[in-house]
Structure 1
């Protein structure tokens, strides 16, 4: 069946909240403000957030992304640490070299760091629930003395772990893990180590929880669930898993409209859509435009939370003015070409 314009119908359940969270917004804003204040280049250690669109846009503005501080010359220009956090050795090395550095670590990740350090200060061995090699996990483990932290990735890891003192344990979690995944591991840990201390407050961040809740509320009966995000974005990959577990026939991670095979979407389908916390809204808008070009789209907004969190940047950058185009890029709601500095 087609509408009067000859387009077949398509229902899209659009999740809210989706896309940028306050931590990502703050990190991007720090790089943009640093470029305004200090001029190019501004060095960024690793990707500021896991999104190619954002990284390419900042590179066009004058950001230079490096693997390590060793790749930065002593030219007096600032270096920004990514939103995922860094080991303590990184700012220590920057201070040794008398580098100007700006720490864009998400405040919620910093909270996990403080919780882990508190466990150690109280004589506990830290069990970190997370994925090996993820920048956030590397950064959290790097806050602690060698030998004081053990990475737990699965329930099998829990079964295999045999600590010297089961009564002196505390756990923290990677902020972007699935709520469902961490629940199983935490339950297994608490059964095996009933005296283990939990963090002082919930470690999984509000943005992860809110985006997963919206996907869960949308997924049942969807033929395809599109998650806009990068392949190396942990929270985006988890959203695909959440969609399929919650009842979608298929979840698919896409970086942008080029990854969406619009011609293979059956008329009359029910499509779910959300975006990971580091995916700008413009990427979702482009996909919606492509779908509207082929289908008569009916949008069902599925809103499960309202986010009004705001994480301010450091004081040294708060007086730097931003143009409307700058703010649009920071908020992820304007085409990249409109924000490039020539």
Structure 2
């Protein structure tokens, strides 16, 4: 029942306004089937199912964090992280795609969407409609994947995962919290110091206010802290009031990914059957996963050499765009094209050596 599979519980996604990679050295076979395995990428080019084969690098994995909504609401990909694993499969390079990045979203026949230019976090919504006013995040993921492929030049993702922020909180709590280094002072837009929601101004009931909340704010100050699930989720969601807004938030998300992976690999988790049981149950109930024909366990074995200290956090250079004084979204620096070319050619190490400014040194 507790047989150990010497593996990393590969690239589990996180969060509402972020996404977290969960590294773990043990996956229990009894929970392998509890993960919601779906075909997130659609059929292969000839309409056949993806055939199972050995997992070999280089690999590209798409991780998406969504705000949980009911089936009548289109999902928004509030956090998008691409994980590139080089041919030797002994490292993981993580880069975030800004949620407000303005891109060309391709047409999508399943929903009749004709394509258009919009913020990238809208792609899941455009691809999610399944009729009768219902929306399916798994179907929306397919259009998001196509959009990210078009943006980056990545020909195909080898795996993908969706996790909502409620599931992320449950995983962190099941781990007993996560210790991480906070690199800048952050105030919460959403929560009070005790974790309860901040009250909302009555005039903002229609969701048109940019800052609808008032009252005391939870604060996260520079230093090393052990965060509970609600604190971790709240911290990695924040962008308001930060000097670099969403780019600071992306860095914090990637820092938490590494901290979470390090703790998941610690003896405190992998040698504690009760805690491990809770972690795997939380992950299995929250995760939608597509391994392109391979199970979570298969991916665990494939990524067994990746640890927190060989995860490289990357920042894509970009800036906010304005039209007539109004914010319209984010745009990437022209050099991002060279970065994406290096991803496609599996030459990221060389690119980062020549462009050290791309590495999040504080992660």
Q: Give the TM-score band, short-chain normalised.
A: under 0.3
TM-score, normalised via structure 1 length:
0.26
Larger strand proportion of the pair = 2
Larger helix proportion of the pair = 1
Greater C-alpha Rg? 1
